[in-house]
């Protein structure tokens, strides 16, 4: 019978495109794992008492065309005004060669954090350029490779100041009152939990306090360029640490804060070619003195060398970071903003020092013209120095703002008796003429050309002593790629060094590297979403509000919670936000003494690091032989904590990759002592549609939208870590000092600079949810579990699987234990990881959560063919290990310890290894057909940390 039109119209093809295996594959894989159906597999795998067979209630899956056209209709409800709001966010021209080849290129956006540096030299180089850019502009010698935003970078600066200040008795952190308000908000909130005292006062008042650190804004939030040298000296004279939040474009013209003596300089790199995106994502920069290197927060890229002595880049000094140091880490930062840091560094490479000066000088000239014109009409300006921002004193705010809005322009309105106006790279002469109309009304008779003649004759709006007098960006990389052809090829050359999802599976356990569908990514570049200032009036952002409300509603359904706080910019920030909600809840019940946080030994490093930031005492709970939370230990530690128990942080399914049978009991034990249950939601990919943290008994969880909900990892960020909470915690989630929503929590302190975090990537998760609907979301979870169990079953023939749950099943990931093999052969998990590179695979998660293991998560998006290819590689590798075990190869001379192999290896005149060149680089027929070449040999980590070098190397050093 022919199909009806209705049947022909049923199109949920996206589900089949998101999910790798076909119906036939599913049948075959079920047979291998020994389950009758997907439902049967789930019943065998997931404890019955947490299975929830209620539909999610999100609705049917939508087609890409439907979802995109609806989302476009929402986006159109945003009003894209010209933004003169400033406050750290400015319009910018994203160079199209960067937009198309980095922001919109899966070769860049689907990569993972460069923990496997041999296959990540491209993005490591782009990040090293970012560090060099930061060093040049700030005048300090050590920079990190990006933080989440300017406000949290300032909070990190405060934490660094406390660590390194020699004034150990001081407990005050001073913030000049002309720092951006959202920064003050975030730092104040952070300080409260660290137990620091915050003083916000006019900058000069810093002399009146004994401080361990102080923060100044340069130029100030209202645009003034003040000589902060004297203030910095005052802070340092009492052994305090002087921190400066600076505007990146102004630094092109201004004397570097480092030269003025600052100890820490930080800021937002957004206006270097990254759209405002209604708040993000963009990268913060952070620089300090070399002396404070061990206290630096976040990732640092360093130059080391590989086994051939060739320079090679890697993440340096990881022993500072949460994944190693846990609650003693400098910060909880994990995911940061790598993709955006790369965009900003490419922006600098593209424009070079001359191009950047032209941009900065043009913005400044137009500001001079605006100032001269306004002053000539008797308008008072608050300051007599400026770079791009004027604060206009006026009794006539409402009329001016009304004229601005009528012309589609947003001014800064939150100042008493004044309006702010910040110009940007996108401001034109015509815009300045329009600003005259806005401030003065029509008929003012001012003429931009005439004013320009006066401005060009010279102004003292940047005091001479604060003008930059040294060259910036002298390194070759910033002076070479100015034609579009050269730029295109430089971007591509770096991309080719990196293994991203567009090449092959990245089976990183706990990281859920699934498909980032093109339809999900497309809205990110829409101007209606990209060109919106985070503090634009709410009535101009109705499309965003509606999209966020819908996404929140879906996330409520998915998590089983009552409310969502969308603000945190990463999983770790979500943890911090969630723990603060717990803390404030206890305080609201006069139980502020509850400060003990139980954390199972298997937890991700961010958990203890975040608990420390919330000023909780971390008590580690043991795991039993099966990898589950040891119930006896849990009960005794909970009892011991008693009325001081604040919460537990538990990951579900556990980071050991199994659904613990006792999870409900865990929740009950904690609740029975009045504690709260924080469930780390990084593993939601094993829950969506079949159970939920709220259903299980959690009180709060963060969701890694950059794991389960399809936001790409960007080579180490962006991410989004919204939290879901039960109703009793909803009043205690983050608010915002500048943007007031109608939520009960609106007046709480903020955890991010922007009210809705990195709003412009939320459409990715919105699209993901809309495209899959109830059916596709549930099926994705089922397939994630099937793929993992299929993989596990095949690998178990050759490798011990560390933990399994009921019926010998794993959840959505599995841990392969390489310790027994290492014992027998000397071959380590590192050797296996690097040998996988020769096969064209990214290594799985190495030595987390258990040292000496690999944790593998295929996700639902990988096809059976790709998983089979991976299984084949792992079996070949097992054979190779056997040859070491049985003495065919020595431990020093075999393809595992020498992996990864490079073109340099095969080009050696002499090949005197115990195995062939062919085996080295073409270990399978498949690889021969399509070879990914690691560009460096194995990198020497110890050398890199001992000889820390974090700036760009001269090209000759690479022997090019
Ligand atoms: C990824 C992850 C986190 C941290 O998320 P970020 O976004 O990188 O900060 C926390 N917990 C677990 C279990 C994770 O896998």
What is the DSSP annotation of 835-904?
Answer: HHHHTT----EESSSSTTEEEE---TTS-HHHHHHHHHHHHHHHHHHHHHHTTSS-SSSSTTTTPSP-HH
pLDDT greater at residue 331 or residue 74 = 74
Domains 108-122+135-272+284-331 and 535-757 share a fold: yes
**Dist CA 806 CA 946 (whole Å):** 47
Question: With bands split at pLDDT 50, 70 and 90, how would you rate the model's confidence at 953?
Answer: confident
Average pLDDT along the chain = 96
Q: Would you state the structure tokens that stand for residue 96, as one six-digit string?
A: 């199209």
The alpha carbon of 857 and the centre of ligand 1 are apart by a number of angstroms equal to 14
Distance 575 CA to ligand 1 centre (A): 9
Instruction: Please choose from 606, 715, 761 the residue to mutate so as to test ligand 1's pocket, defined by most ligand atoms within 8 A of CB.
Output: 606
Judge whether 300 and 131 are in contact, CB under 8 Å: yes
Q: Ligand 1 pocket test: which of 608, 704, 708, 857 has the largest number of ligand atoms within 8 Å of its C-beta?
A: 704
Q: What is the DSSP string of 212-235?
A: EEEEEEES-TT------HHHHHHH
**Substitution candidate for ligand 1 out of 682, 765, 850, 857 with most atoms within 8 A of CB:** 682
- Residue from 567, 572, 813, 849 to probe ligand 1 pocket by mutation (most atoms less than 8 Å from CB): 572
Length of the chain: 960
pLDDT value for 960: 47
Is the minimum distance from the CB of 729 to ligand 1 under 6 angstroms? no
Instruction: Please give the distance, rounded to the nearest whole angstrom, from the Cα atom of residue 226 to the centre of ligand 1.
Output: 40
Q: What is the CATH number assigned to the segment(s) 108-122+135-272+284-331?
A: 3.40.640.10
Radius of gyration of the chain (CA): 28
Helix (H, G, I), strand (E, B) or coil at 390: strand
For ligand 1, atom 8, name the residue with the nearest CA: 335
Q: Is the pLDDT of residue 25 over 70?
A: yes
Q: Are 128 and 950 in contact (CB under 8 A)?
A: yes
- Ligand 1 contact via 654 beta carbon (within 6 Å): no
DSSP-assigned letter for residue 623: B
Whether 958 has a pLDDT exceeding 80, the answer reads no
CA of 704 to the centre of ligand 1 (A): 7
Residue 906: pLDDT over 70: yes
Other Cβ atoms less than 10 A from the Cβ of 472: the count is 21
Give residue-wise pLDDT tens across range 837-878. 999 999 999 999 999 999 999 999 999 999 999 999 999 999
* H and E: helices and strands count for the chain: 33, 24
Distance 788 CA to ligand 1 centre (A): 20
Query: Ligand 1, atom 5: nearest CA belongs to which residue?
Result: 571
The CATH classification number of 772-817+828-896+901-924 equals 3.90.1150.10
What DSSP state is assigned to residue 256? Answer: P
767 Cα: distance to centroid of ligand 1 (angstroms) = 22
CA-wise closest residue to 621 among 631, 611, 613: 631
Q: Which conformational region is residue 380 in: left (phi greater than 0), alpha (psi within -120 to 50 degrees), or beta?
A: beta
Residue nearest to atom 4 of ligand 1 (CA): 571
Q: Which residues of 417-453 are buried (b: 16+ CB within 10 A; e: fewer)?
A: ebbbbbbbbebeeebbbbbbbbbbeeeeebebeebbe
Tokens of 412: 């800064």
Q: Judging by DSSP bridges, how do beta strands 617-621 and 645-651 pair with one another?
A: unpaired
Instruction: State mean pLDDT over 273-301.
Output: 97
Is the Cβ–Cβ distance between 28 and 732 less than 8 Å?
no
Question: CATH second-level architecture of 535-757?
Answer: 3-Layer(aba) Sandwich (3.40)
721 ligand 1 Cβ < 6 A: yes
> Ligand 1: which of 510, 608, 700 to mutate, judged by most atoms within 8 Å of the beta carbon?
510
In the reported structure, the alpha carbon of residue 571 is separated from the centroid of ligand 1 by a whole-number distance in angstroms of 5
Cβ(278)–Cβ(256) below 8 Å: no
- How much distance in Å is there from the Cα of 191 to the middle of ligand 1? 23
Q: Quote the ligand 1 centre to 210 CA distance (angstroms).
A: 38
Q: How far is the CA of 707 from the centre of ligand 1 (A)?
A: 9
Q: Residue 269: its pLDDT value, please? A: 98
Looking from the CA of residue 572, the nearest atom of ligand 1 is: 9
Provide the CA 537 distance to its chain's centre, in angstroms.
26
Average the pLDDT over 33-62 and give the result: 97
Backbone region of residue 854 per phi and psi (left: phi > 0; alpha: psi in -120 to 50; beta: other values): beta
Please work out whether the CB of residue 338 comes within 6 Å of at least one atom of ligand 1: no
Ligand 1 close to Cβ of residue 534 (< 6 A): no
How far does the centroid of ligand 1 lie from the alpha carbon of residue 1, in Å? 52
842 lines ligand 1 (CB under 6 A): no
DSSP 3-state assignment of 817?
strand
How far is 693 from 708, CA to CA, in rounded Å?
14
Question: Which residues are CB-neighbours of 181 under 8 A, at least 6 positions away?
Answer: 87, 221, 414, 737, 738
By C-alpha distance, which of 688, 628, 897 is closest to 57?
A: 688
- Does the C-beta of 704 come closer than 6 Å to ligand 1? yes
Instruction: Report which ligand 1 atom has the smallest distance to the Cα of 719.
Output: 7
- Give the strands of the sheet with 853-856, arranged side by side: 814-817, 853-856, 845-846
User: Tens of pLDDT along 659-697?
Assistant: 999 999 999 999 999 999 999 999 999 999 999 999 999
Closest atom, ligand 1, to C-alpha of 706: 7
Give the pLDDT confidence of 701-756 residue by residue, as tens digits: 999 999 999 999 999 999 999 999 999 999 999 999 999 988 999 999 999 999 99
Q: Could you tell me the two tokens for 611?
A: 């608990």
Please give the number of the atom of ligand 1 that sits closest to the Cα of 333.
9
Would you place residue 12 in the very low, low, confident or very high pLDDT band (cuts 50, 70, 90)?
Answer: confident
What is the predicted pLDDT for the residue at 193?
95
Digit-coded pLDDT (tens) for 408-421: 999 999 999 999 99
Tell me the DSSP string of 95-127.
-HHHIIIIIT-HHHHTPPPSSSGGGBHHHHHHH
**Which residues lie below 8 Å from residue 156, measured CB to CB, with a gap of 6+?**
147, 266, 286, 297, 298, 330, 331, 333
Q: Over 50: is that where the pLDDT of 956 sits?
A: yes
**In the structure encoding, which two tokens stand for residue 652, read together?**
């579900």
Quick one: which atom of ligand 1 is closest to the CA of 606? 10
For residue 909, pLDDT beyond 80: yes
Among all chains, which residue has been given the structure tokens 């293991």?
853
Q: How far is the CA of 655 from the centre of ligand 1 (A)?
A: 11
* Ligand 1 atom closest to residue 707's alpha carbon, by position in its atom list: 1
DSSP 70: H
Q: Which of 147, 152, 680, 850 to mutate to test the pocket of ligand 1 (most atoms within 8 A of CB)?
A: 680
Q: How far does residue 783's CA lie from ligand 1's centre (Å)?
A: 22
Q: Can you give the residue ranges of every domain in the chain? A: 108-122+135-272+284-331, 535-757, 772-817+828-896+901-924
pTM for the model:
0.98
Going 255 to 256 to 260 to 265, the CA torsion angle's sign is: positive
Ligand 1 pocket check for 342: Cβ under 6 Å:
no
pLDDT tens digits, one per residue of 62-112: 999 999 999 999 999 999 999 999 999 999 999 999 999 999 999 999 999
Planar angle of CA 129, 131, 133, nearest 5 degrees: 70
Q: What percent of the chain has pLDDT over 90?
A: 95
Q: Is 655 in the pocket of ligand 1 (CB under 6 A)?
A: yes
Give me the residues paired with residue 108 across strands: none
A 10 A CB-CB count for 636 gives 12
* Ligand 1 atom at minimum distance from 510 CA: 15
Residue nearest to atom 2 of ligand 1 (CA): 682
State pLDDT tens for residues 172-205.
999 999 999 999 999 999 999 999 999 999 999 9
In this structure, how many other beta carbons lie within 10 angstroms of the beta carbon of residue 407? 14
Atom of ligand 1 nearest to the CA of 655: 13
């Amino acid at each position: 019978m022919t199909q009806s039109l209705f049947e022909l119209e049923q199109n949920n093809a996206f589900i089949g495109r998101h999910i790798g295996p076909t119906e036939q594959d599913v049948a075959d894989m079920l047979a291998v794992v020994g389950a009758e159906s997907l439902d049967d597999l789930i019943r065998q795998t997931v404890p019955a008492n947490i299975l929830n067979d209620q539909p999610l209630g999100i609705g049917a899956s939508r087609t890409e065309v439907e979802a995109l056209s609806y989302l476009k209709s929402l986006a159109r409800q945003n009003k894209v005004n010209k933004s003169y709001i400033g406050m750290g966010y400015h319009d910018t021209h994203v160079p199209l060669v960067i937009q198309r080849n980095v922001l919109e290129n899966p070769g860049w956006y689907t990569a993972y954090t460069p923990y496997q540096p041999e296959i990540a030299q491209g993005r490591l180089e782009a990040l090293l350029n970012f560090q060099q850019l930061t060093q040049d502009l700030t005048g300090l010698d050590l920079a990190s490779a990006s933080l989440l935003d300017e406000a949290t970078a300032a909070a990190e600066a405060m934490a660094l100041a406390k660590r390194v200040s020699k004034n150990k008795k001081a407990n005050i952190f001073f913030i000049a009152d002309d720092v951006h308000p959202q920064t003050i908000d975030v730092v104040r909130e952070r300080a409260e939990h660290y137990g620091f005292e915050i003083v916000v006062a006019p900058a000069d008042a810093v002399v009146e306090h004994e401080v361990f650190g102080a923060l100044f804004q340069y130029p100030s939030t209202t645009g003034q360029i003040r000589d902060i040298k004297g203030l910095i000296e005052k802070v340092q004279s009492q052994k305090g640490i002087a921190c400066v939040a600076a505007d990146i474009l102004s630094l092109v013209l201004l004397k570097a804060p480092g030269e003025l003596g600052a100890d820490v300089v930080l800021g937002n790199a957004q206006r270097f070619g990254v759209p405002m995106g209604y708040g993000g994502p963009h990268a913060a920069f952070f620089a300090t003195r070399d002396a404070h290197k061990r206290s630096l927060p976040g990732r640092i890229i360093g130059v080391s060398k590989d086994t051939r002595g060739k320079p090679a880049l890697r993440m340096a000094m990881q022993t500072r970071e949460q994944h190693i140091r846990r609650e003693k880490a400098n910060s909880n930062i994990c995911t940061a903003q790598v993709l955006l840091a790369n965009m900003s560094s490419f922006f600098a490479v593209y424009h070079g020092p001359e191009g950047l000066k032209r941009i900065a000088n043009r913005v400044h000239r137009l500001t001079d013209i605006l100032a001269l014109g306004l002053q000539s009409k008797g308008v008072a300006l608050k300051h007599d120095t400026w770079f791009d921002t004027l604060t206009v004193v006026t009794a006539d705010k409402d009329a001016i703002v009304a004229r601005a809005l009528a012309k589609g322009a947003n001014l800064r309105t939150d100042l008493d008796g004044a309006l702010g106006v910040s110009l940007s790279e996108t401001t034109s002469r015509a815009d300045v003429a329009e600003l005259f109309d806005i401030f003065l009304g029509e008929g003012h008779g001012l003429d931009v050309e005439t004013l320009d003649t006066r401005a060009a004759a010279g102004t003292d709006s940047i005091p001479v002593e604060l003008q930059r007098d040294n060259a910036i960006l002298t390194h070759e990389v910033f002076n070479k790629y100015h034609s579009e052809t050269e730029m295109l090829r430089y971007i591509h050359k770096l991309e080719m060094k990196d293994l991203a999802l567009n090449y092959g599976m990245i089976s990183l356990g706990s990281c859920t590297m699934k498909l980032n569908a093109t339809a999900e990514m497309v809205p990110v570049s829409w101007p209606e979403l990209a060109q919106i200032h985070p503090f634009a009036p709410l009535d101009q952002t109705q499309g965003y509000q509606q999209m966020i409300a819908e996404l929140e509603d879906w996330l409520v359904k998915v998590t089983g919670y009552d409310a969502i706080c969308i603000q945190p910019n990463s999983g770790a920030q979500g943890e911090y936000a969630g723990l603060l909600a717990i803390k404030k809840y206890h305080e609201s019940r006069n139980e502020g003494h509850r400060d003990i946080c139980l954390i199972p030994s298997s937890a991700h490093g961010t958990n203890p690091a975040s608990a420390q930031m919330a000023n909780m005492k971390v008590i580690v709970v043991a795991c039993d032989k099966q990898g589950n939370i040891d119930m006896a230990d849990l009960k005794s530690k909970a009892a011991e904590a008693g009325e001081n128990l604040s919460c537990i942080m538990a990951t579900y399914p556990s980071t050991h990759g199994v659904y613990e049978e006792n999870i409900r009991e865990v929740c009950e034990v904690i609740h029975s002592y009045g504690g709260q249950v924080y469930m780390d939601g990084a593993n939601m990919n094993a829950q969506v549609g079949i159970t939920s943290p709220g259903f299980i008994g959690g009180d709060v969880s963060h969701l890694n939208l950059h794991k389960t909900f399809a936001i790409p990892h960007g080579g180490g960020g962006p991410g989004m870590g919204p939290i879901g909470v039960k109703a009793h915690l909803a009043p205690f989630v983050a608010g915002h000092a500048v943007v007031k929503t109608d939520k009960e929590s609106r007046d709480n302190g903020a955890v991010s600079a922007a009210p809705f975090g990195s709003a412009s990537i939320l459409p990715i998760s919105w699209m993901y949810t809309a495209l899959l609907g109830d059916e596709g979301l549930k099926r994705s979870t089922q397939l994630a579990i099937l793929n993992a169990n299929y993989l596990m079953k095949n690998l178990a023939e050759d490798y011990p699987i560390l933990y399994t749950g009921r019926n010998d099943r794993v959840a959505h990931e599995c841990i392969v234990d390489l310790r027994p093999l290492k014992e027998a052969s000397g071959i380590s998990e590192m050797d296996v990881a690097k040998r996988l590179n020769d096969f064209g695979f990214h290594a799985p998660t190495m030595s987390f959560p258990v040292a000496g293991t690999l944790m593998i998560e295929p996700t639902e998006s990988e096809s059976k063919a790709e998983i089979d290819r991976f299984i084949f590689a792992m079996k070949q590798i097992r054979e190779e290990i056997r040859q070491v075990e049985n003495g065919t190869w020595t431990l020093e001379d075999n393809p595992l310890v020498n992996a990864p192999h490079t073109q340099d290896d095969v080009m050696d005149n002499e090949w005197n290894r115990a195995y062939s060149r062919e085996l080295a680089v073409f270990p399978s027929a498949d690889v021969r057909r399509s070879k990914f070449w690691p560009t460096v040999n194995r990198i020497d980590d110890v050398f890199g940390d001992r000889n820390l070098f974090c700036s760009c190397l001269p090209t000759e050093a690479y022997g090019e």
